[in-house]
């Protein structure tokens, strides 16, 4: 059965683009560009998230003295990103397709204004038939405020751009139900909502990657819960992208089944903004129960036991249940002192309104 996606995000991992010795695998890049060009020409809108800046810079520059990891990242990505985007530009030009570079940082997703600004940038590119090629701006990213890796960034982009699918290309055929090195393990082809994969994932990651399979899995689950199909596949296999879309049943990969319930655009932003949370709202047992039910409910002061941290109205806050587990993220409807004052009282305005509440 052919997949009728009209807008997809494609994330290409460092290991797909780098050879064993760390040099840029231009043959692989060219093959991927050919596939993306084919899909683009058939009417699919594509947003690329490409890693590889650090890997391609590392093989270019040989520093005289030993550099610490931050200096290395900044130096290699500055040189490597220029090289990477230049290659993409030339390769896509052969197909008559324009590409544009979008370099971003985690901070650029912190407020709704910044978020919508980036969404607008990529929307206008797509409207003008330009393929956005996104990467984290490693050169200026502050270590503590970086994305875990580009898998996290690609999840955010897919969600922000309302993509129907996110395809994560790595150097492996999918998620194995054991060590990928063990001949008895095989690729899990479909993953439904709520399946625990923690036993399968090894801490090992490929030589040039940053996050490993665990971040891929966590991100894939979150994005699939927002209604987006997530596919993890091997970017080193010939014609993989075209096959995934045109012959999905015969193409080896791991597919996360998307939730059928639509998630609003603002809730998607909130879902990915947890890292910017300024405070915590702790709720009692009764409020936890209602929140876990199918009902659409807001966080009312009557169900709050205590507040931690200081926040302003419209800041992102975490929702913590009576057992101390995080159950959601929301946008505060008032500041922390107003919330504090209202705790336990009836008939007060919600501290987090349902429309701005994302339950995990």
Ligand X SMILES: Nc1ncnc2c1ncn2[C@@H]1O[C@H](COP(=O)(O)OP(=O)(O)O)[C@@H](O)[C@H]1O
Ligand Y SMILES: N[C@@H](CCC(=O)OP(=O)(O)O)C(=O)O
Binding residues for substrate: 51, 138, 150
Q: Which two tokens stand for residue 43?
A: 């009417």
User: Residue 122 or 153: which CB sits closer to ligand X?
Assistant: 153
Taking the alpha carbons of 286, 291, 293, 296 in that order, is the dihedral positive or negative? Answer: positive
Taking Cα atoms as reference points, which of 91, 243, 78 lies closest to residue 173?
Answer: 243
Residues in the chain: 360
Out of 105, 118, 135, 218, the only residue in the binding site for ligand Y (CB under 6 A) is 135
Rounded to whole angstroms, how far apart are CA atoms 253 and 189?
A: 6
Rounded to whole angstroms, how far apart are CA atoms 271 and 258?
A: 16
Q: Which of residues 196-225 bind ligand Y (CB under 6 A)?
A: 209-211
CA distances for 155 relative to 59, 149, 221, 224, 268, angstroms: 28, 10, 10, 9, 10
User: Residue 203 or 296: which CB sits closer to ligand X?
Assistant: 203
Task: Assess 150 for contact with ligand Y (CB under 6 A).
Answer: yes
- Collapsed DSSP state (helix, strand, coil) of residue 255: strand
Out of 54, 134, 175, 299, the only residue in the binding site for ligand Y (CB under 6 A) is 54
Taking Cα atoms as reference points, which of 42, 28, 87 lies closest to residue 237?
Answer: 28
Q: Least Å distance between CB 5 and ligand Y?
A: 22
Residue 136 contact, options ligand Y, ligand X, none, Cβ 5-8 Å cut-off depending on partner type:
ligand Y
Q: Which two tokens stand for residue 332?
A: 């505060």
Out of 8, 9, 13, 172, the only residue in the binding site for ligand Y (CB under 6 A) is 13
Residue 232 contact, options ligand Y, ligand X, none, Cβ 5-8 Å cut-off depending on partner type:
none
Out of 8, 14, 35, 255, the only residue in the binding site for ligand Y (CB under 6 A) is 14
Q: Which of residues 192-211 bind ligand X (CB under 6 A)?
A: 200-202, 204-206, 209, 211
- Residues at the interface with ligand X (CB under 6 A): 13-15, 170-172, 175-176, 180, 200-202, 204-206, 209, 211-213
């Amino acid at each position: 059965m052919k997949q009728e996606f009209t807008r997809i995000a494609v994330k290409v991992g460092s290991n797909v683009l780098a050879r064993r010795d760390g040099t840029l695998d231009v043959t692989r890049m060219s093959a991927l560009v050919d596939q993306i060009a084919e899909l683009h020409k058939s009417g699919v809108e594509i947003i690329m998230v490409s890693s590889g800046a650090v890997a391609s810079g590392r093989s270019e520059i040989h520093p005289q003295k030993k550099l610490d990891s931050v200096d290395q990242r900044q130096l290699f990505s500055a040189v490597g990103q220029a090289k990477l985007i230049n290659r993409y530009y030339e390769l896509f030009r052969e197909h008559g397709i324009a590409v544009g570079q979008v370099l971003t940082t985690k901070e650029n997703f912190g407020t709704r204004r910044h978020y919508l600004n980036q969404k607008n940038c990529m929307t206008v590119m797509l409207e003008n038939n330009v393929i956005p090629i996104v990467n984290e701006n490693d050169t200026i990213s502050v270590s503590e405020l970086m994305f875990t890796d580009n898998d996290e960034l690609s999840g955010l982009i897919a969600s922000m751009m309302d993509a129907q699918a996110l395809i994560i290309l790595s150097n492996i055929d999918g998620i194995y139900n054991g060590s990928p090195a063990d001949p008895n393990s095989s690729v899990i082809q479909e993953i439904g909502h709520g399946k625990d994969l923690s036993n399968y994932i090894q801490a090992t990651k490929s030589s040039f990657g940053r996050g490993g399979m665990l971040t891929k899995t966590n991100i894939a689950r979150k994005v699939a819960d927002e209604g987006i199909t997530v596919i993890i596949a091997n970017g080193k296999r010939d014609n993989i992208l075209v096959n995934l879309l045109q012959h999905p049943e015969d193409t080896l990969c791991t597919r996360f089944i998307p939730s059928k319930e639509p998630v609003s655009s603002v809730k998607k932003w909130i879902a990915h903004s947890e890292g910017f949370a300024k405070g915590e709202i702790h709720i009692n047992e009764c409020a936890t129960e209602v929140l876990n039910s199918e009902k659409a409910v807001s966080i009312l002061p009557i169900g709050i036991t205590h507040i931690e941290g200081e926040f302003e109205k419209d800041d992102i806050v975490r929702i913590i249940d009576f057992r101390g587990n995080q159950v959601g993220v929301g946008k505060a409807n008032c500041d922390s002192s107003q919330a504090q004052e209202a705790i336990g009282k009836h008939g007060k305005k919600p501290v987090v309104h349902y429309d701005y509440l994302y339950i995990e």
